[in-house]
Chains A and B, each alone.
Chain A
Amino acid sequence: MKLQIPFVVKCAMGFVALFVAFAIFGQWLSPYEFRETSLLNRLKPPGTEGYILGTDARGRDVLVRLAVGAQITLIVAIVGTVIGAMLGSLLGIIAAAKRGWTENAIVAAIDVQASLPIIVVALFVLAMFDNSFTLFLLLIGLTGWEVYARLMRGAVLSAKEHGYVTAVRALGASPARIYLGHILPNVASIALVQFTINLPLTILLETALSFLGLGVQPPLTSLGQMMSEGRDRLLTAWWLTLFPGTIIFLLALSVSLIGDWLRDHLDPTLKSR
């Protein structure tokens, strides 16, 4: 099958590639270190000699801070999404495989999570424990686990009813063989599609929490944290908020577009027709 990639999706892929490259190598575009302050060069607008994208209220170079912020945002988004995907998928598969009380317990956990928006859970936990990067990463990792769990439980339950599973059971295949060899490969695409839906959500949650000042803490920075710092100077130093904001938006947009496209091409219900 030859893949026709629409122009918009190509642009989205291009932007994501550019973003990743910027997150990894961007720091070398600037001679400064991201925590390096310069009291003489505070709030310089973009285009100022030596500071292409300007400086913030402490005279730190916005370009290098964007690169570091992008890096942190990328790490948190990917690690967080992976944690949620693994945890949720595993629980969903266990629920469908075990049935009985194990399943009831997991379904109850899904109900509880579904009744609490993840940002509320995160705020509750952050109110009581000292914010650390690890804790923050774990909280982000909880984003959407219940969706994976629900989807995978449903997918595995329906896969178990498929003729090929019955036939393979009748051949005498062990449960391990049935799950690893037959059910998992057929439900994996559902988790993959959900991954692409969840990734922009994770990005938006990280940046929102950091924007509220409750996520990534200084001296470390992320795109959301930069916006939080620049917020009070919105009218006088727009570049402090609009640069990171635009990058977040374009990143979330690109990932969503790629996700939509992938979903259309991976949807197993479309494929079997």
Chain B
Amino acid sequence: MISYIGLRLIRAVVTLLITITLVFIFIRFSGDPAAALAPPDAPQEVIDQYREALGLDKPLWSQYTAYLGQLLQGDFGYSVHTGLPSVQVFLARLPSTLFLGGTALAVALAAGLPLGAIAALNRGKPIDRLVMGFSVFAFALPNFLFGLVIILIGALVFQTYIGSNPDSFLDVVFPALTLGLASMGAFARFARSSLLETINAPFMVAAEARGIGRTRRLLRHAVPNASIPLVTLIGLSLGGLIAGSIVTEQVFGWPGVGQLLVRSVATRDIATVQFIVLAVAVTMILANLIVDLLYLVIDPRIRSK
């Protein structure tokens, strides 16, 4: 168990280090990093200060350690766009993105898992085919198209521009639905196959032979066993949600990190882009780590390794 945790921790740290290194290499070779990271309109002295701090006149290795040192001190550079530290710009946007992503994930889970379970329990029947059809549909429907259609319907039917008012119910539900639809389909499909696999497992047959009723077999034995692989899927779906939020926020004009990222890329606000990339990487690595550790809690087989 200790070696399991140790191995996962090492893996997370190595992954993060490689990511930081790649970011460094890209920034270093894309142009003048000092100008990119210094506050906009900074006088030449300030840029020179940065140049010195980054050690651009020094060998590559000491530049790299200097960069790492800056990251450790929490200095991620200044946004060209606002003149503020990129961390501040990011943090200002974070709550609304978390709100949108959280709602989307909740919607996707609340609808996707039951749909998958229903399909599995009615394998081969019309309802199963309907759910599977929906999951392919949800996977293939581009979120920008879905978002635009929703806006169009909102304008024509409800006479309102969805996305204009973050406090109204519809303005939260529809962007969240847009963002969560693909994950919903994936959850449904995965829940179905996972449940189908456990329903036919030998211990389910044995439980039936022991006189345990169908409902109890499903709820006490099949569902817990089928949920184990779902933990991994939820961890993986985070990547899809992050990617999807970039587009969704853009479509609905949602004032979140995704919108910030797109704008920063368009305006070449490298400090901000750099910070967002690192933040995404840290989030994903942490999520995977949590998933791995969750296995310890829910699966006794891993706990005793």
Contact = CB atoms under 8 A, between A and B. Distances in A.
A111 B26 CA distance: 19
Interface stretch (B16-24, B55-63, B171-179, B216-224): B16-24
B95 interface: no
B152 A118 contact: no
A125 B212 CA distance: 58
Given A127-B265, A214-B262, A200 B26 contact: no
A224 B277 CA distance: 24
B136 A123 contact: no
A249 B144 contact: no
Contacts, number: 135
B18 A123 contact: no
B262 A212 contact: yes
Nearest to A257: B136
B142 to A, nearest CB: 5
Contacts of B143: 208
Contact of B239 (A117, A127, A248, A253): A117
A253 to B, nearest CB: 4
B298 interface: no
B136 A256 contact: yes
Contacts of A253: 136-137, 140-141
Interface string B3-32: 000000001001110110011001100110
Contacts of A241: 145, 148
B152 A116 contact: no
B54 interface: no
Interface in A83-120: 108-109, 111-112, 114-120
B47 to A, nearest CB: 18
Specify which of A111, A227, A246 lies most central, judged by the most chain B CB atoms within 10 Å of its CB. A111
A235 interface: yes
B195 interface: no
B266 interface: yes
Nearest to A230: B148
Given A123-B261, A211-B247, A252 B273 contact: no
* Contact-residue bracket for chain B: 35 or more
Contacts of B288: 114-115
A248 to B, nearest CB: 6
Interface residues of A, number: 45
A213 interface: yes
Given A112-B19, A117-B243, A214-B265, A124 B152 contact: no
Interface string B129-173: 000000011011111110011011001000000000000000000
B265 A123 contact: yes
A98 B149 CA distance: 50
Contact of B250 (A111, A212, A256): A212
Interface string A117-156: 1111101111111000000000000000000000000000
A234 interface: yes
B113 interface: no
Interface string A250-272: 00110111001000000000000
B11 A111 contact: yes
B104 interface: no
Interface in B78-104: none
Given A123-B246, A235-B155, A128 B145 contact: no
Interface stretch (B37-45, B115-123, B198-206, B278-286): B278-286
B109 interface: no
Interface of B: 11, 14-16, 18-19, 22-23, 26-27, 30-31, 136-137, 139-145, 148-149, 151-152, 155, 239-240, 242-243, 246-247, 250, 261-262, 264-266, 268-270, 273-274, 276-277, 280-281, 284-285, 288
5 contacts: A115-B16, A116-B281, A124-B277, A127-B273, A253-B137
Given A120-B280, A127-B273, A249-B145, 11 more contacts: A115-B284, A120-B246, A121-B277, A123-B265, A124-B265, A214-B262, A214-B266, A227-B148, A241-B145, A252-B141, A256-B140
